[in-house]
Copies of this chain bind each other. A is one copy, B any other.
Amino acid sequence: MENIAVPPLNVPRIVIIGGGFGGIRLAKEFKNKEVQIVLLDKNNYHTFQPLLYQVATAGIEPDSISFPLRKLFKHQRNITFRNARVRKVIPEEQIVETNIGSLSYDHLIIATGSRTNFFGMNVIEDQSMPLKTIRQALDLRHLMLQNFEKALITADLKKRESMMSFIIVGGGPTGVELAGALGELKRHVLPQDYPELDVRRMQIHLVEAGPRLLSALSEKSSQKALDYLKRLDVNVWLDTMVKHHDGHKVDATVNPSGQKLEIMGSNLIWSAGVKGNHIAGLKEDVVQNNGRIKVDSFNQVESYDNIYAIGDVAQMTTEDYPFGHPMVAPVAIQQAKLLAKNIWAKVKGKNLKTFTYKDKGAMATIGKNKAVVEVGKFKSQGAFAWFIWMFVHIMSLVGYRNKAIVFVNWLWNYVNYDRGIRLIIRPFDLQLRNDRRKKEEEERIVF
């Protein structure tokens, strides 16, 4: 393979794999420093994952929550971006292998995030729609609309109902927010689009294996989220484990009774877990079962001097977080900030600082004027929480254009009870999706 064309400079080369929250923050921290940053990502854009569910439910377009990485760094001249898929790292040679060639590094930062965890259930993986990337969000939007079109021309009422029904597995923020958005589509949009269908027959199921939704938040917030969802006609199944999906219905088991359950629904969305998106080439014992890479309190990967991992893919166990930090953006951002300082301290021969996470709280929205927010001791539910949620999300988007476009769309949707982007641009085909996924896996493209 030809060598990746990145001109070597006479300064330390820092290679960052992944342009997520952690990767871009880290790269930015090195602004005006005498280093050479090489940022690698399989996409040419950064994705704001918390709003993917809105792309999936026709509320906003991909461009609103994506930002071209080259544009992001156009004023930072010590960065070289390469649109590449990393195949593996060879620590002995200090080299990263990608689909466009190999690349040497002085410091390597793995910021490859996480991906959907199907816990080995291949049937579920084949049948379900994950929601971690822009493509997956578009696929879900297309599938949903296609199935409604199909339902129209399906005479069998049971099949028709199944095509119109959604089973969301996983009661974290993604599952809850998606269920809420579907609830609003059911109430305000779909009856107008499909007057021929009895949209009351559209069922939205949210299935959670644990005893409550939003387990990262307080019991009160969980309860509120549950109330809000019920008002939107979402069927919430707690303590329920999904085992199988045959294309039309899910087989599940209720804990602790072991009672068997069938839930009808052709559209299966899997947001029940993620795993670290580790890369090949590291010693096996640094990669945990959950795919995360063991790091010390400086985010250094165990037994490697100049390899670091941050964010979702890194597992740093501390007293407060014996199972690692939550896989959320603030952790990645805070680790990136500190790691930049530490690498610079290393270059300059100074002392390093250990990482302490400052919890930024958590929030979720469940339809119009309804959200739950917790920041430290501050807890809020309802309309005020919803405004906080909106404000925080708009401010977190990269770029003023994106902020403005999302604002226009949200204002429009708020006033008109609408989700305007009900477009099937590339019809979704489950078989093609699965073929492509398997091909990528065969090529051992991990990230």
Residues of A within 8 A of B (CB): 2, 4-5, 7, 43-45, 61-63, 66, 68, 70-71, 74, 77, 80, 82-83, 100-101, 134-135, 138, 145, 149, 152-155, 192-196, 399-402, 404-405, 408-409, 412, 418, 420-426
Residue pair B74, A192 in contact (C-beta under 8 Å): yes
Determine if B423 and A80 form an interchain contact, defined as CB atoms under 8 angstroms apart.
no
Q: Are B68 and A420 in contact (CB under 8 A)?
A: yes
> Contact: B5 with A422, CB < 8 Å?
no
> Of B70, B83, B401, B423, which contacts A63 at CB under 8 A?
B423
Assuming A70-B194, A426-B426, what are 20 further A-B pairs, CB within 8 angstroms? A2-B155, A5-B154, A7-B196, A44-B424, A61-B61, A61-B63, A62-B423, A62-B425, A63-B421, A66-B425, A68-B420, A71-B193, A71-B422, A74-B192, A83-B424, A134-B423, A400-B412, A404-B412, A405-B409, A408-B408
Partner of A425, one of B135, B145, B422, B423: B135
Residue from A44, A135, A399, A402 having most chain B Cβ neighbours under 10 A: A44
Residue of B nearest to A154 (CB): B5
- A404 and B193 alpha carbons, distance in the complex (Å): 23
Residue from B101, B153, B423 in contact with A4 in the complex, judged by beta carbons closer than 8 Å: B153
With a cutoff of 8 Å between Cβ atoms, the chain B residues found around residue A83 in the complex are 149, 424
Q: Which 6 A-B pairs have the closest CB atoms?
A: A70-B193, A68-B422, A74-B192, A61-B61, A63-B421, A83-B149
* Cβ–Cβ contact A399 & B424, under 8 A: no
Contacts of A154 in B (CB 8 A): 5
Chain B neighbourhood of A425, CB < 8 A:
62, 66, 134-135, 138
Q: Provided the pairs A63-B423, A145-B44 are in contact, do residues A193 and B74 lie with their beta carbons within 8 angstroms?
A: yes
For the complex formed, measure the closest distance between the CB of A27 and the CB atoms of chain B, giving whole angstroms: 15
- Are A44 and B423 neighbours in the complex by a CB distance under 8 Å? yes
- Write out the residue numbers on chain B whose beta carbons fall within 8 Å of the beta carbon of A399: 420
Residues on the B chain within 8 Å of A43, using CB = 423-424
Give chain B residues whose Cβ lies under 8 Å from the Cβ of A426: 135, 426
Query: In the complex, what distance in Å separates the CA atom of A155 from the CA atom of B68?
Result: 25
Contact partner of A401 among B7, B77, B409, B424, CB < 8 A?
B409
If the complex has contacts A63-B61, A145-B44, A404-B408, are A71 and B420 also in contact, measured as CB distance less than 8 A?
yes
Residues from chain B with Cβ under 8 Å of A66 in the complex: 423, 425
Given contacts A424-B43, A424-B83, contact A153 B77 (CB under 8 A): no
Q: Which residue of B lies closest to A153 (CB)?
A: B5
User: In the bound complex, how far is the Cα of B194 from the Cα of A68, in angstroms?
Assistant: 12
Does the CB pair B409–A408 fall under 8 Å? no
Contact B63 A420 (CB under 8 A): yes
State whether A100 touches B405 (Cβ < 8 A).
no
Question: When the two chains form their complex, are residues A5 and B152 in contact, meaning their CB atoms are under 8 A apart?
Answer: yes
